[in-house]
């Protein structure tokens, strides 16, 4: 079973992460947000952060703790849809946050293990999206 290719962008790329992170004490923080040095608030109402250093402070700490070089670490561009709680464009298309993540390994099913902006290890799809676009009832197959 092969999956239909997912379009590269669903909505407009609005930055690397939201400028204001909502924190609820009873829920864990998002693994897709971290401390960005040199980032600039952009967008209407300064809703997003763009620019800044390649990796977040937490990603750099994760690379150093694993004995990897920060300057030469392999990386990939990862995308995720911005939830309505971050920003709503009013067009029916969600905004897209796009950021760099260091690559740790690649799995047989094509997914890639990366260090997320919060410093946690996460799996992302081979095309860079944080979640796959799947139909109900379909399971993953190992890449040939």
pLDDT of residue 29: 76
Q: What is the pLDDT of residue 39?
A: 81
80-103 tens-digit pLDDT: 877 766 665 566 666 778 889 999
Q: What is the pTM of this model?
A: 0.75
> Distance between CA 144 and CA 135 in Å, rounded?
21
Whether the pLDDT of residue 141 is over 70: the answer is no
pLDDT of res. 136: 46
Mean pLDDT value of segment 38-47 = 76
| Terminal-residue alpha carbon distance, the chain | 11
Q: What is the mean pLDDT of residues 51-65?
A: 90
Instruction: Give the mean pLDDT of 10-28.
Output: 72
**How many CB atoms neighbour CB 139 within 10 A?**
7
The bridge status of strand 112-115 relative to strand 121-124 is antiparallel
Alpha-carbon span 132 to 33, nearest angstrom: 20
Helix extents (H) in the chain: 57-65
Going along the chain, which residue ranges are E strands?
Answer: 13-15, 17-18, 40-42, 48-50, 75-81, 96-106, 112-115, 121-124
């Amino acid at each position: 079973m092969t999956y239909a290719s997912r379009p590269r962008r669903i909505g407009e790329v609005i930055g690397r992460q939201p400028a204001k992170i909502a924190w609820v004490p009873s829920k864990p923080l998002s693994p897709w947000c971290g401390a960005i040095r040199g980032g600039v608030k952009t967008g209407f109402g300064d809703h997003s952060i763009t620019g800044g250093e390649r990796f977040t402070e937490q990603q750099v700490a994760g690379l150093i703790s694993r004995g990897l070089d920060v300057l030469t670490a392999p990386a990939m561009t990862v995308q995720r849809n911005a939830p309505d709680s971050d920003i709503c464009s009013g067009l029916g298309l969600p905004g897209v946050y796009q950021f760099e993540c260091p690559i740790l390994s690649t799995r047989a099913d094509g997914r890639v293990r990366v260090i997320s902006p919060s410093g946690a290890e996460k799996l992302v799809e081979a095309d860079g999206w944080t979640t796959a676009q799947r139909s109900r009832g379909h399971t993953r197959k190992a890449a040939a």
